[in-house]
Homo-oligomer: A and B are copies of this chain.
Amino acid sequence: MRFETSTIKDIAKALGLSTSTVSRALRDRYEISEETKKLVLAYAEKVNYRANPIARSLKERRSYSIGIIVSEIANNFFSQVINGIESIAYDRGYHVIISQSHESYKQEKLNVEHLASRSIDGLLIALSSETQDIAYLRNLYGKGLPIVFFDRVPEDFDTHKVIANNFKGAFDATEHLILSGKRTIAHLTNSENLSITRERLKGYQAALTKYNIEFRAELVKYCQHGGMHNAELEQAVKELLPLNPDGIFISSDRLTTGCIMAMKKTNPGVAHKIAIAGFTNSSLVELFSPSLTSVKQPAFEMGQVATELLISMIEAKRPVTEFETKVLDTELVRMQKPIGNRFL
């Protein structure tokens, strides 16, 4: 069950030309007389000709599509990044294929390899929290697949990368808590595997240092699965609360919302007593209770920049050897103060 469309051959036959001529007219390549070109174009328009992208891909050995790997599309940050990616990709004639790793290394690898076999022209990827071994990416990269990392990037991989200024974002958030008078500030974060985890931890520590607050390792809790499992989060919260933190800095979107949820569930009483600052791109934070201070990443822009870089690699005539790591600034959105004695 497939539907018929007119091909270049049909046009050639109808016009008494060769397929090569028609192809040239359509693609506007090489020398071709203005006259025949017009003729062909007019006829193509008339029969509503659409080039078959599959055939084109086969011949040209590229697909005009780029693969995206994120852990979860149901995540404000990532869906905004994807919107940024699309905005550039479509403009430049590329299609995007989105895959989700669900924070699983196995799934991530499977998806990447699936995409690669579908001859994507390039890959945009934010690593899963489980990922430690990126040999399979090196392998593909070595074979010539352009890759640009964003958000969660590996350290020793020579290619373009786009990240937020995680250090500063974390520093600002922590400093904000300190300036509101908090002294026992916990840090709930993602798997140590991730670059963002390490960078944000450093920002957190730097802020403590600046204000002469001792860093206490037991106040830092890692969630290996990035908050995908509720049990993990609740466990972390359960371990943290007995230490009586008066503030908590949380380092990722899902963890932030998940943590508040876990606190409300396990210790509803204290949820409002602890000041929260966390990375999140949710547009709904204003509705949250308890309210929180959030670090917003320029997600849309991150997607755009990463895509520009990727396309530049794809379309480069010679292998690219100069790589850059773009760092984009985050924005601190301060908690809204309660009005009166009601939490609004």
Residues of A within 8 A of B (CB): 1-5, 50-55, 57-58, 61-63, 73-74, 76, 79-80, 82-83, 86, 95, 97-98, 100, 113-114, 117-119, 140, 143-146, 257, 260-261, 264, 268, 271-272, 282-284, 286-289, 291, 314, 316, 319, 339, 342-344
Residues on B with C-beta less than 8 A from A314 are: 1
- Chain B residue, CB-CB nearest to A2: B61
- In the bound assembly, the distance between CA atoms of A1 and B261 in angstroms comes to 48
- In the bound assembly, the distance between CA atoms of A55 and B145 in angstroms comes to 19
The 8 closest A-B pairs by CB, nearest first: A289-B289, A3-B143, A3-B144, A74-B79, A50-B117, A287-B288, A2-B61, A54-B57
Given known A50-B117, A119-B52, A343-B343, contact A286–B272 (CB-CB < 8 A): no
Given known A52-B119, A316-B1, contact A339–B63 (CB-CB < 8 A): no
Q: How far is the CB of A300 from chain B (nearest CB, A)?
A: 11
Residues on B with C-beta less than 8 A from A54 are: 54, 57-58, 63, 118-119
Residues on B with C-beta less than 8 A from A261 are: 284, 286-287
Residues on B with C-beta less than 8 A from A140 are: 3
Interchain CB contact (< 8 A) of A80 among B74, B98, B145, B283: B74
* Cβ–Cβ contact B86 & A100, under 8 A: yes
Interface centre among A51, A83, A287 (most CB of B within 10 A): A287
- In the bound assembly, the distance between CA atoms of A5 and B113 in angstroms comes to 13
* Cβ–Cβ contact B289 & A146, under 8 A: no
- In the bound assembly, the distance between CA atoms of A325 and B342 in angstroms comes to 47
Residues on B with C-beta less than 8 A from A79 are: 73-74, 79
- In the bound assembly, the distance between CA atoms of A141 and B133 in angstroms comes to 45
Q: How far is the CB of A250 from chain B (nearest CB, A)?
A: 13
- List 16 interface pairs A-B (beta carbons < 8 Å), by A numbering: A1-B316, A3-B144, A5-B117, A5-B143, A50-B113, A50-B117, A53-B119, A95-B118, A257-B284, A264-B344, A272-B342, A272-B344, A284-B284, A287-B287, A288-B288, A289-B344
- In the bound assembly, the distance between CA atoms of A289 and B86 in angstroms comes to 33
Residues on B with C-beta less than 8 A from A2 are: 61-62, 119, 144
